[in-house]
Chains A and B, each alone.
Chain A
C-alpha cells in the first residue's frame, strides 16, 4: 500500500497545527516522525487515520482519497496505536481487547480462528500469559503492548504508531520496535512511527521526517537528518552525532540552548568536545 500526503493543513480555529505537510510512504517502509513537543507529530498521525479532518490538502491511499473511503474500509487498511494508553472504561480482558482488532474483518460472531490469530499476536508481543487479565490491572507498559497487539491483529497495510514506546522500559522499547520492524519486512506492510527517542528513530527507521512548527523541517535517511545542526535548530539542543562505519547515527545530547544558570556553566561545555 502506498500512502501519499499532499500539502496537509490542519488547525483548531485560528491556531495552525500543520502547515503544508507532504510526505510519501512506500510499501515495506518504516518512516520515523520526530520533532519537539507540539510540532504536530500526533496531529499528523491522527489526520492520516481520519480521526482529524484536515482543512486543506489530501491524503491518498493507493491513489484513493481518504475522504472517499468508509471508516470500516479504512480500518481494514490502517491500524493506529494511540499515544495515551486508553483505559477501557469497564473491565475487559486482554484477549477480548485484542480481539476488537479483528472487528473490521468480522461479522457478529468471532470464530475460533480469530481467537487463535489473537493468541498468536499475544505470543509475538510476549504477553500471552496476560491473556485473561483485566487490562485495567496492567502496568502502563503492558497496556501499551496490548494496544500494539490489537493494531497488529487488525492486520493493516499501514501501521500508525504514536509514541509506541513512551511507557516502556529499555528492553521492551527495543523489543516492540524490533517486532514492528520485523512485521514491516515480513508482511510488506509499512509503518509511520512518531517517536521522541532520536536513537530509536535513527536505528530502526528507513527514513525520517523532522518536524518543526507544523512543517517538515527536513526529511531523508537517518544519516542525512540527524546532524548536530538540524537537532540544534529544531530542538534547541546541542548534541553530538557519532557515526561509526555505516551503522545508524548515534545521538548524544550534550546540553540545551537555554541560558544556563551560573551553577551549571562550569560543568557543561557550550559546544561538543571534538574527539
Chain B
C-alpha cells in the first residue's frame, strides 16, 4: 500500500517534469524580472536628475540646463566645472533649496505612502488621508492665528505643525497597540482624527482676524516657497535616516501583504512591525510637512505608479516610490512656475490637479488588481 502510494506519486511528478520548463528557464525569467526592477530605479533616478536640471534652468535669470549643472558641480569640482558668478548664486541660493526641498518632500511622502498602504492593507492610505497633514495644518493655524506655540520665533509655525502632525500619528499608533486592533481600526482612527483636526482648523479660522486667516490658508496649500538650506538640511537628514530604517523591514512588509495570520506564521511580529513603521513614517512625514504644508496626492499616487511598474517587492518599491514621488513634485514645481508666469502657483495645487486625473487614467488604463 505504502509503496504503491509512493510510486504513483513519483510517476506523476515525472510526467509533469517532462512537460514543463527547465529550472534554468525559470531562473532566467526571475533574474530578468528582478533586473527590470533595478533598471526602473536606475532610469527614474536619471530622470530625476534631468528634471532637477530643467527645474533649475527655469526662472527670471536666463540660465541653460548645462549652465545649471555646471554651476552645481563647480562648487565641488572647481577644476572641471565653471559657471558665471550670477549663475552660481542664482542656482545655489535661489533655485536649489527649493528643488532640494521638493526632492526630499517627494521622497518622504512617496515612501511613507507605499509603506502605509502595505502596513494598513489599504490602497487609499497616505499621510494625507490619515490626517497627518490635517494635524500639521491645525498646528500651523494655531500658531498663525492664535499666536500660540511650543517654540518661539521663526520656528513657531514649523514647530507647531511638526508637533501636531506627530500627535495625529501617536493617536493612530496608540490604537494600533491595543489588543485586537486591525489595520482597518487604524485607518478609521486616522479618518476620525482627520475630521476632528479639520474642524478645529475651521473653528480657528472662523474666529481669526482676516490677514492671519489668509496666511493660514496659504500655509495649508503646500508650497516650496519657504525653502531654505537650513530647512532642507533638517528634513533631508530625517528622511535620509528613515528610508534605510524602513528598507530594513522590506521582507516583513512583503509578507504582511499576504495577511496578518500568514505573516505571523512566517515569523513576523506583526504588531511590532506596524508600530515601528508607523513611528518612523510619522517622524519623517512630520519633518517634511511642517516645512511645506499639505502636498496631497504624492503619497497616494507615487506608490501606485511604482507598483504598476515593478510590483510589490518592498526592497525595490521603497526606493523607487521615493524617486517617483520626488519626480512628481519637481515636475509639478516646473509646471507651477510656468503655467501663468510670473505667478507661482503653490505646488500643492498642481499635485492635486495633476494627481487626480493621472490617477483616474491609471485606473482606466490598467486593472491594478486591487481596486
Contact = CB atoms under 8 A, between A and B. Distances in A.
Binding site secondary structure of chain B:
helix
Contact of A71 (B251, B259, B268, B312): B268
B75 interface: no
Contact of B255 (A90, A103, A122, A136): A103
Interface stretch (A56-64, A73-81, A228-236, A258-266): A73-81
Contacts of A103: 251-252, 255, 266-268
A112 B5 CA distance: 33
A38 interface: no
Contact of A126 (B13, B259, B368): B13
Interface residues of B, number: 46
A223 interface: no
B1 A247 contact: yes
A67 interface: no
Interface residues of A, number: 56
B30 interface: yes
Contacts of B251: 100, 103, 106, 108
Given A76-B267, A95-B26, A128-B20, A181 B312 contact: no
B121 interface: yes
Binding site secondary structure of chain A:
helix
Contacts of A132: 26, 29-30, 33
A118 B123 CA distance: 29
Interface string A122-139: 111010110110101100
Nearest to B32: A132
Interface string B128-163: 000000000000000000000000000000000000
B17 interface: yes
Contacts of A178: 5, 8-9, 12
B254 interface: yes
A51 B271 CA distance: 13
B259 A131 contact: no
B273 to A, nearest CB: 11
A104 interface: yes
A75 B266 contact: yes
Interface string B90-132: 0000000000000000000000000001100101000000000
Given A46-B261, A178-B8, A115 B267 contact: no
B6 interface: yes
B244 to A, nearest CB: 11
The 8 A-B pairs of least Cβ separation, nearest first, read A75-B267, A72-B267, A86-B259, A80-B265, A90-B312, A104-B267, A178-B9, A91-B369
Given A82-B262, A182-B5, 5 more contacts: A88-B257, A92-B312, A96-B313, A120-B23, A178-B12
